[in-house]
Structure 1
Amino acid sequence: MNALPASTAFQPSAASLYDSPRLLADIGGTNARFALELGPGRIELIDVLPCAEHATLGHAVRAYLDGDTVRAAACGTVRHAAVAIANPVLGDMVRMTNHHWEFSIAALGAELGFESFIVVNDFSALAMSLPHLADGDKWQVGGGAPCLGAPIGLVGAGTGLGVSGLIPAEQGATGAGHWTALRSEGGHVSFSPADETEVAILQYAWREFEHVSAERLLSGAGVELIYRALAHHLGQDAEPLGAPEISRQGLSGECKLCDRVIDVFCGMLGTVAGNLAITLGAQGGVYIGGGIVPRLGERFARSPFRQRFERKGRFGAYLAQVPTYVITARYPAFLGVSAILAERLAR
């Protein structure tokens, strides 16, 4: 277990009283990440549990809290908890899209004995972390300087494709103030091809799916789908490969087809990110999260991503000024869900 570096720790308002440690969680389709916030900005005892090893979210929470180190630190007094989850949160019942867990927020909070139990969309939480990221928690790929107090976009590919954004409220001249995170499911918009190769990929994908969303291609499973579709389009025989191996062979130069998959993936992501920037007027920048892009490293900067981000005809000059950032912080969603919980309790 470890802790967030002090430079990235979110500093809640003085109105947020830490009468007990707070449980923070970031639940994806593959892994459940947990931490305790022991005081303002002290996010520690981070642990990652595979979702597949736990029958329910409640079981996973108890497994984390029952660990010897966590139990000693919490002293059995965790009263408030906040969960970011890779799923729409539209009411009391939550049914995960990319995993089998489902639960009632009210019932689970009562079962676990929490006085406060908040569940939010994971990308809403990640969006709330963006104003608190230190310079070392991100790196810029193209564009100019962000406009303070302007909307910010967020998109990230991993098990699925998350989309969100921040809309400013009560902003001051320095850009400080309150933000509203969008509850978006923009990853499920219809995929929009931008060239003949992507048209061929879309036609191949239609063989498997009636509706081909952006997420079908911009995700771990999407990397594999692009690989199969490109092989078919190019008339090549391709051995079955999973997304990690496709990325590895593409980055190492072992496989030209895998290398092209990376380019196609990044180009598609550039189109989606550019669409988001125009839709939100995101002159505060567009951030790239998720598990896939940070692993590409400098290869992402050399990919077609930024070219495609700006390729919007008459709005090319507009987008050329919008900065794009890759989030490199290891557990950024904890910062956002901490901010959301602190705000709720301060009310």
Structure 2
Amino acid sequence: MTTKWQIPAGAVLVGDIGGTNARFSMVSANRKQTQAFPTNPVADFSNIDETIDHNILPLAREKPQSLILAMAGPVEGNVIPLTNSHWFIDANALIKQFDLQNVLVINDFEAQALATTVLEPTYLRPIGPGAKNETGSRVILGPGTGLGIAALAHVNTQYLPIAGEGGHIDFAPRTARDFELFPHLRHIEGRISMEEVLSGRGLAGIYHAVCKADGIQPAFDQAEAIANAAHQQEHAQAEEAIQLFLTWLARFAGDIALIFKAHGGVFIGGGIVPKIIGLLDEKAFRQAFEDKAPHSKLLADMPVFVMTHPRAALEGMAAYVRMPDKFLLDYNNRLWSR
């Protein structure tokens, strides 16, 4: 272990490991090229080493000297389990198995935070007015298999990503409909976390709660089917579930924006929102986002963006490999060396 690191010469394999998919890219030794690899479903492999061995290295143009992983979950301990997957990361074992110099493990939304500094405007869909403030604090959140969150602070001339587990804070109902649905949402040990409403299973849970409250039999169990039905305007409960999901996401985004006073912007990533963005009512979203009296005016001045790049986390890590001096990363207990 070390708290100081200079990225060794040689190619760097970067991986974004979520609860559903594992995505990899290789940054070349000269730092000028990036080789993208096909997406690997997590459920198809026993663990990360099998994926790298069978589906990444046989296609690689260069042998990696270092490995940087962004994983969905808190980075704690020497063997790190993913929150919503059977996979785990044992950095020391990976070093030995693949003859690596170093392995660095960060949270997946730290990598998303890095990406906000380099993504082209075409991959940032604004919701309402406002432009990025390059030196203001930013928050990054995103519903997918789980609900990720991170912040990004600007310190002198560098960006500092801050990992968090804010997706597990309490969900709070506000409207009469919220309270009607509340008993039918999934409780864990007496509480409902934001991840249980703002995730793939969360969207399914909202839909089932709406059906139960309306006294009808649910027609769908998966988030994708619910979204498809809402897009086709053929199922009122599916349409309501999507709108509740987006409203609760807007409120949550406003809460996190207040915590960090995110004048640098609120960035929404993850796999779900880009797929349902056509159903998003921009005015309604901004209203729910800004409805935080007595600080509504503060939020009105904060820009909100949907990150539409399908591999944003990998873009963020590649930027770090190419421009390490631009970022301040915490290496303590997250960097393993040979």
Q: Deviations over 1:270-309 (max 9, x none)?
A: 0110001100000111000000000113322447322210
1:242 aligns with 2:222: yes
Query: For 1:56 and 1:206, how far apart are their aligned partners in 2?
Result: 29
Unaligned 5+ residue runs, structure 2?
Answer: 1-5, 329-338
Distance 1:220 1:331, change over 3 A: same
For residues 64 and 299 of structure 1, what CA distance do their matches in structure 2 show? 36
Specify the alignment match of 1:161 in structure 2: 147
1:73-102, Cα deviation, whole Å (9 max, x unpaired)? 11xx31111111111102322011101112
Is the 1:150–1:283 contact (alpha carbons within 8 Å) kept by the matching residues of 2? Answer: yes
Aligned residue number for residue 334 of structure 2: none
Taking structure 1 as the reference length, the TM-score comes to 0.87
Of 169, 174, 182, the residue aligned with 1:202 is: 182
| Cα 1:207/1:192, change in 2 over 3 Å | closer
Counterpart in 1 of 2:232?
252
Shift of 1:147: 2.8
Distance 1:59 1:229, change over 3 A: same
TM-score, length-scaled by structure 2 = 0.89
After superposition, residues 166-181 of structure 1 pair within 5 angstroms as 166-170=152-156, 177-181=157-161
**What is the deviation of 1:209?**
5.4
SS in 1 for 2:257: helix
Distance in 1, matches of 2:19 and 2:313, equals 15
- Equivalent position to 2:50, from 49, 55, 59: 59
Unaligned runs of 5+ in 1: 1-15, 171-176
Task: Give the corresponding residue for 2:286.
Answer: 306
Q: Give percent identity, aligned residues only.
A: 28
Indicate the SS of the match to 2:117: helix
- CA displacement, residues 42-74 of structure 1 (integer Å, 9 cap, x when unaligned): 22232211111111111111123343x32xx11
Q: Is the 8 A contact 2:26 2:35 kept in 1?
A: yes
**210-219 or 145-154, larger mean C-alpha shift:** 145-154
**What is the CA-CA distance between 1:197 and the residue it aligns to?**
1.6
Select the residue among 189, 198, 222 that pairs with 2:202: 222
Kept after mapping to 2: 8 A contact 1:84/1:122: yes
Deviation at 1:324, TM superposition (A): 0.3
Q: Is residue 83–residue 120 contact of structure 1 (8 Å, CA) maintained in 2? A: yes
Task: Report the Cα offset of residue 135 of structure 1.
Answer: 0.7
RMSD: 2.2
- AA aligned opposite 2:95: G
Matches within 5 A, 1:1-347: 19-38=9-28, 39-67=30-58, 69-70=59-60, 73-74=61-62, 77-170=63-156, 177-205=157-185, 210-302=190-282, 304-341=284-321, 343=324
2:203 partner letter:
V
Alpha-carbon contact 1:267-1:303 (below 8 Å) kept? no
Q: Is the 8 A contact 2:7 2:321 kept in 1?
A: no
Moved over 6 A (4+): none
AA of the residue aligned to 1:188: H
Within 2, Cα distance between the matches of 1:209 and 1:294?
32
The code of the aligned residue for 1:248 comes to N
Q: Distance in 2 between matches of 1:330 and 1:101?
A: 22
1:330 offset after TM fit, Å? 1.8
Cα distance in 2 for residues equivalent to 1:329 and 1:156: 13
Whole-Å separation in 2 of the counterparts to 1:139 and 1:52: 31
Alpha-carbon separation, structure 2, partners of 1:111 and 1:237: 51
For 1:207 and 1:153, locate their aligned partners in 2 and report how far apart those are by CA, in whole Å: 27
